[in-house]
């Protein structure tokens, strides 16, 4: 019985983590897992990243993907999650434009190239727990690709930051994926501010090292640069 109990406990722990293997654009999901989304190192383990300065914070990838998804500017996107996104914390989305002479299927996303176009603030639920939009769903929350984003190939990055242990340093958990996309029908906006990953996050950022019991929802500060909304 002891053995069974610990097996069940181990299973429950694994259930608490997740990956985002499938991008959905205007309601249409990529054909199969990891076809435009780069397979992540935790595809099996589902473990999050705890060190926000680690190289894995960029895309956490084990390999590039084979294809590139066409995404119209103004499209609504989200990701399918392998498990319930059950931890409190924000979902954020970033884009990085593939430089001249490179392609989305091979580029590594290095440099001051990433801008954030979506983040979220918490509310308090009926149990007086801080909660974020989309918590406990099997998908990430929706975001809109800003209409004025210039055409071209990009890496699209989703992250969910799990904050249930975040009162200790390096115990927030980052769950993320990057997809290879091509934006069409866009505009002449100038996205920014542009940041590097790793680089944009520090262990003691107030949105990463945070005790959710001790703050009001409106006092939460999502980590990273300001949102560019086009
Ligand atoms: Cu978990």
pLDDT at 229: 94
Residue 229 domain-assigned (yes or no): no
Nearest to 115 by CA among 146, 73, 76, 160: 146
Quote the ligand 1 centre to 227 CA distance (angstroms).
26
Quote the ligand 1 centre to 182 CA distance (angstroms).
32
Nearest to 26 by CA among 90, 70, 82, 87: 70
Please tell me what DSSP assigns to residue 109: -
pLDDT at 7: 52
**Do the beta carbons of residue 48 and residue 163 sit within 8 Å?**
no
Residue 3 domain-assigned (yes or no): no
Residue 11 domain-assigned (yes or no): no
Residue 224 domain-assigned (yes or no): no
Residues of the chain with pLDDT under 70: 1-15
pLDDT in tens, 177-188: 999 999 999 999
Residue 163 domain-assigned (yes or no): yes
Residue 8 domain-assigned (yes or no): no
Quote the ligand 1 centre to 89 CA distance (angstroms).
11
Quote the ligand 1 centre to 111 CA distance (angstroms).
30
Residue 115 domain-assigned (yes or no): yes
pLDDT at 2: 52
Quote the ligand 1 centre to 16 CA distance (angstroms).
4
Residue 6 domain-assigned (yes or no): no
Beta bridge partners of 159: 92, 176
Element (H, E) at 183: strand 173-184
- Domain carrying residue 142: 17-219
Asked whether the bond before 193 is cis by omega within 30 degrees of 0, the reply is yes
Entry pTM:
0.93
Question: How many domains does the chain contain in total?
Answer: 1
**CATH code of the domain containing 99:** 2.70.50.70
Quote the ligand 1 centre to 185 CA distance (angstroms).
38
Please tell me what DSSP assigns to residue 146: -
Quote the ligand 1 centre to 176 CA distance (angstroms).
13
pLDDT in tens, 105-121: 999 999 999 999 999 99
The token pair that represents 106 in the structure block: 């091979």
């Amino acid at each position: 019985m002891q053995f069974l109990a610990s097996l069940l406990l181990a299973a429950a722990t694994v259930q608490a983590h997740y990956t985002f293997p499938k991008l959905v654009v205007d309601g249409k999901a990529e054909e199969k897992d990891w076809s435009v989304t780069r397979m992540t190192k935790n595809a099996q383990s589902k473990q999050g990243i705890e060190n926000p300065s680690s190289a894995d914070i960029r895309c956490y990838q084990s390999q590039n993907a084979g294809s590139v998804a066409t995404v119209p500017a103004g499209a609504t996107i989200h990701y399918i999650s392998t498990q319930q996104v059950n931890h409190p914390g924000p979902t954020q989305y970033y884009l990085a434009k593939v430089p001249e002479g490179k392609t989305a299927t091979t580029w590594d996303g290095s440099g001051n190239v990433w801008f954030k176009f979506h983040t979220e603030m918490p509310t308090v639920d009926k149990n007086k727990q801080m909660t974020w939009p989309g918590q406990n769903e099997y998908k990430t929350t929706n975001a809109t690709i800003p209409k004025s984003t210039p055409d071209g190939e990009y890496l699209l990055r989703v992250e969910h930051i799990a904050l249930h242990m975040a009162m200790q340093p390096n115990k927030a958990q980052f769950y993320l994926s990057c997809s290879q996309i091509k934006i069409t029908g866009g505009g002449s906006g100038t996205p920014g501010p542009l940041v590097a990953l790793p680089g944009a996050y520090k262990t003691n950022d107030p949105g990463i090292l945070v005790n959710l019991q001790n703050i009001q929802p409106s006092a939460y500060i999502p980590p990273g640069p300001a949102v560019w909304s086009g």
